C-alpha cells in the first residue's frame, strides 16, 4: 500500500505539471493554423522529439516489449522494419515534405495532398479526411487502452477506469492548445521515454544477473530456456512460412514512408531546411536507442517472470520496472509509458479534428469567411467530440491487444497513404483522381482482408501497400490527367 502511495504521488505531480505546460503553450495559439500545424515554425529538435514520441506511443513501451516477451527473437524483424522505415523517412522524405508544405502553404496533411493535386482537390480532401478519421478512432482507442492497462498493473484499477483517467489527462490541454500544446508536451514525454528505454534495460541486466532464483540470469539464457521458438528468428517456422513471418514483421517499414499523417505533419511543421537537417539527426539517433531498449525489456521480462508468468504480455514493461526499481523511481520511469500514450493520443486527436473540421465541416459552412476565432472554436469542439467517440470505441473494441489495434491502422492508413505521398513526391503523372481511387481501394482492401481473417495468413501491412501501389499505377495510366486551363 505504501509503495502504491509513492507511485501515485509521483504520477499526479508529473501529470499536473504536464497539463500546466500544455496549457501554457496553448496560450500562444491565436488562429486555426496555429491550432493545426503550429504556424509551420517548429525548431528541428522540437519537431524530431515530438515526431518520435508520437510515433512510438504505447506501442514502443507496451506493445513491442510485450511482443518480444511473447515471441522472443522473432520480434527483431518488427523492430528492423520500424527502424528502417523511420530512418528512411527522416533521411529521404522529411526535408522534401517540409519543402512541399512551405511551397503549397499547406496547413494539414490532407491540405498538402489536395493542393498538390488541385485537379481533383475537393474530393481528395473529403475522401482523405474521412479515411483518416475512421482509422484514427481505433488508434486513439489503442492509446486509451494502453493507459488502462498500465494503471491496472500499478494500482489494480479496473482498465475501464484507467482509460477514463488517461482520457481525462489528454483531452483538456489538447482542446485548448491544439498542435502547439501537443508538440511541446511531446518533447517532455520523448525525454522521459528514452530515459526509460535506456535506464530500464541497463538496470534490468544487472538485476537478473544478481538474482539466481529467477527463471534465468541473462537474456540469452532466458530465451534458450523458454523454448526453441524463442531463439528462432522465424518462430521455429521453415520454408514459405518463415518468409511470411519475416515479411510480416518487416512490413511495418511501409507505413513509415510518409503514410502516417501524425508523423508527416511534424516534417511539414519544421521551420526551414536547416532545422530539418537537425531534426533528422535527432530523430534517427533516438530511434536506434529506443528500439534496442524496447526489445531488451521484453526479453528481461522472460528472465524475471518466465515465458508464462504474466497474464497479459503487454504488462511486461511496468511489471519489470516495478520489480527492479524502488517504487518512487519505477513510477517516474513508468510514467514514460503513460507519456507515450498521451503523446500519440493527443496528436491523433488534433490531427483528426483539424482534418474533419477544415476539410469536411468548413466547406459545408454557409459562412466561409467567418472569423479565426470561430474557426478555432469549431476545431476545439470537434476535438472534444472525436475524443469521446474514440473512448467509446476503445471500450467495445473486439481486440484488447494494443499491438493488433496499431497494426490495423498501420495497414489502412500507413500502407495506403505512403503510396499517395511517395507518388505525389516522385511521379509527376500521378493525379488527383488516381489519389482518390488509391485511398478508397486501400481502405476497403484493409477492412476486407482483416475482417475475413486473411490477415493471419499474410499481413495486411504488407499487402495493402502493394495493392495500393498497383491501383495507383493503373489508375494513373488509364485515367488521363486533366489539362490545366
Say if CB 117 and CB 431 are below 8 A apart. yes
Q: What is the pLDDT of residue 340?
A: 65
Q: What is the pLDDT of residue 175?
A: 73
| 269 vs 179: CA distance, rounded Å | 10
Q: What is the pLDDT of residue 405?
A: 62
Q: What is the pLDDT of residue 36?
A: 60
Q: Between 386 and 464, name the one with better pLDDT.
A: 464
For residue 472, is pLDDT > 90?
A: yes
Distances in Å between the Cα of 49 and the Cα atoms of 23, 98, 176, 188 are 19, 16, 21, 9
Least confident of 108-122, 169-183, 272-286: 169-183
For residue 372, is pLDDT > 70?
A: no
Of the chain, the percentage scoring pLDDT greater than 90 comes to: 33
Q: Between 16 and 444, name the one with better pLDDT.
A: 444
pLDDT bracket for residue 114 (50, 70, 90): very high
Average pLDDT over residues 118-141: 84
Least confident of 47-51, 78-82, 407-411: 407-411
Q: What is the pLDDT of residue 34?
A: 63
- By the 10 Å C-beta count (0-12 exposed, 13-18 middle, 19+ buried), 480 is classed as exposed
Please provide the average confidence, as pLDDT, over all residues in the chain: 83
Render pLDDT for 50-92 as a digit per residue (tens, 0 to 9). 899 888 766 788 888 999 999 999 999 989 999 999 999 999 9
Of the chain, the percentage scoring pLDDT greater than 70 comes to: 86
C-alpha cell at 214: 529467477
For residue 117, is pLDDT > 70?
A: yes
> In residues, how long is the chain?
485
Alpha helices in 158-315 (DSSP H): 159-209, 219-226, 228-231, 240-250, 252-255, 261-269, 273-305
C-alpha cell at 381: 469542439
Average pLDDT over residues 414-425: 94
Say if CB 120 and CB 435 are below 8 A apart. yes
| 190 vs 49: CA distance, rounded Å | 6
Question: Bridge partners of 42?
Answer: 270
Render pLDDT for 250-271 as a digit per residue (tens, 0 to 9). 888 998 999 888 888 889 889 8
For residue 401, is pLDDT > 70?
A: no
Q: What is the pTM of this model?
A: 0.84
Q: Write down the residue that cell numbers 522473432 correspond to.
A: 74
- By the 10 Å C-beta count (0-12 exposed, 13-18 middle, 19+ buried), 219 is classed as buried
CA dihedral 294, 296, 300, 303 (to 10 degrees): 130
pLDDT bracket for residue 346 (50, 70, 90): confident
Q: How many helices (H) and strands (E) does the chain have?
A: 23, 0
For residue 406, is pLDDT > 70?
A: no
Q: Between 401 and 129, name the one with better pLDDT.
A: 129
Q: Write down the residue that cell numbers 528502417 correspond to.
A: 84
Q: What is the pLDDT of residue 144?
A: 78
CB-based contacts of 251: which residues, under 8 Å, 6+ apart?
81, 459, 461, 462, 465
Query: Quick check: helix, strand or coil at residue 259?
Result: coil
Cα dihedral across residues 153, 154, 160, 163: positive or negative: negative
What is the chain's alpha carbon radius of gyration, rounded to the nearest angstrom?
22
DSSP class of residue 87? H
Least confident of 129-133, 222-226, 245-249, 261-265: 245-249
Q: What is the pLDDT of residue 237?
A: 62
pLDDT bracket for residue 368 (50, 70, 90): low
CB-based contacts of 79: which residues, under 8 Å, 6+ apart?
64, 291, 294, 295
Average pLDDT over residues 175-204: 85
Q: Which domains does the chain have, with CATH numbers?
A: 2-399 (1.20.1730.10)
For residue 470, is pLDDT > 80?
A: yes
Amino acid at each position: 500500500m505504501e509503495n502504491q502511495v509513492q507511485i501515485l504521488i509521483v504520477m499526479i505531480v508529473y501529470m499536473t505539471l504536464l497539463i500546466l505546460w500544455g496549457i501554457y503553450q496553448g496560450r500562444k495559439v491565436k488562429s486555426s493554423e496555429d491550432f493545426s500545424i503550429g504556424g509551420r515554425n517548429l525548431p528541428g529538435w522540437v519537431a524530431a522529439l515530438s515526431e518520435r514520441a508520437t510515433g512510438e506511443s504505447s506501442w514502443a513501451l507496451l506493445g513491442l516489449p510485450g511482443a518480444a516477451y511473447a515471441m522472443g527473437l522473432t520480434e527483431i524483424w518488427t523492430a528492423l522494419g520500424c527502424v528502417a522505415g523511420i530512418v528512411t523517412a527522416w533521411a529521404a522524405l522529411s526535408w522534401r515534405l517540409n519543402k512541399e508544405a512551405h511551397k503549397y502553404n499547406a496547413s494539414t496533411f490532407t491540405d498538402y495532398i489536395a493542393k498538390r493535386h488541385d485537379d481533383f482537390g475537393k474530393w481528395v480532401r473529403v475522401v482523405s479526411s474521412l479515411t483518416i478519421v475512421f482509422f484514427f478512432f481505433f488508434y486513439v482507442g489503442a492509446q486509451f487502452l494502453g493507459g488502462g492497462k498500465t494503471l491496472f498493473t500499478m494500482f489494480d484499477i479496473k482498465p475501464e477506469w484507467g482509460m477514463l483517467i488517461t482520457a481525462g489527462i489528454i483531452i483538456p490541454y489538447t482542446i485548448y492548445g491544439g498542435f502547439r500544446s501537443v508538440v511541446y508536451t511531446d518533447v517532455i514525454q520523448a525525454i522521459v521515454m528514452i530515459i526509460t528505454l535506456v535506464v530500464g534495460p541497463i538496470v534490468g541486466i544487472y538485476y537478473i544477473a544478481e538474482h539466481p532464483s529467477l527463471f534465468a540470469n541473462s537474456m540469452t539464457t532466458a530465451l534458450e530456456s523458454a523454448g526453441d521458438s524463442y531463439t528462432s528468428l522465424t518462430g521455429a517456422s521453415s520454408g514459405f512460412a518463415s518468409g511470411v513471418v519475416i515479411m510480416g514483421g518487416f512490413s511495418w517499414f511501409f507505413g513509415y514512408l510518409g503514410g502516417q499523417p501524425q508523423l508527416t505533419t511534424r516534417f511539414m511543421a519544421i521551420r526551414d531546411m536547416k532545422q530539418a537537417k537537425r531534426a533528422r539527426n535527432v530523430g534517427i539517433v533516438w530511434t536506434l536507442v529506443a528500439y534496442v531498449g524496447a526489445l531488451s525489456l521484453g526479453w528481461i521480462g522472460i528472465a524475471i517472470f518466465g515465458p508464462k508468468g504474466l497474464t497479459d504480455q503487454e504488462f511486461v514493461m511496468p511489471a519489470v520496472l516495478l520489480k527492479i526499481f524502488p517504487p518512487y523511481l519505477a513510477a517516474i520511469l513508468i510514467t514514460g509509458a503513460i507519456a507515450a500514450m498521451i503523446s500519440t493520443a493527443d496528436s491523433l486527436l488534433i490531427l483528426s479534428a483539424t482534418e474533419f473540421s477544415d476539410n469536411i465541416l468548413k466547406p459545408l459552412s454557409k459562412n466561409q469567411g467567418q472569423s479565426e476565432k470561430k474557426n478555432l472554436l469549431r476545431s476545439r469542439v470537434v476535438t472534444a467530440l472525436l475524443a469521446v467517440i474514440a473512448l467509446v470505441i476503445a471500450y467495445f473494441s473486439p481486440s484488447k491487444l494494443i499491438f493488433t489495434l496499431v497494426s490495423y491502422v498501420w495497414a489502412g492508413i500507413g500502407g495506403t497513404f505512403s503510396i499517395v505521398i511517395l507518388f505525389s513526391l516522385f511521379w509527376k503523372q500521378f493525379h488527383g483522381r488516381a489519389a482518390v481511387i488509391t485511398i478508397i481501394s486501400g481502405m476497403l482492401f484493409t477492412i476486407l482482408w482483416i475482417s475475413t481473417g486473411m490477415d493471419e495468413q499474410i499481413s495486411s501491412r504488407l499487402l495493402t501497400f502493394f495493392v495500393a501501389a498497383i491501383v495507383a499505377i493503373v489508375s494513373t495510366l488509364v485515367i488521363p490527367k486533366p489539362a490545366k486551363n
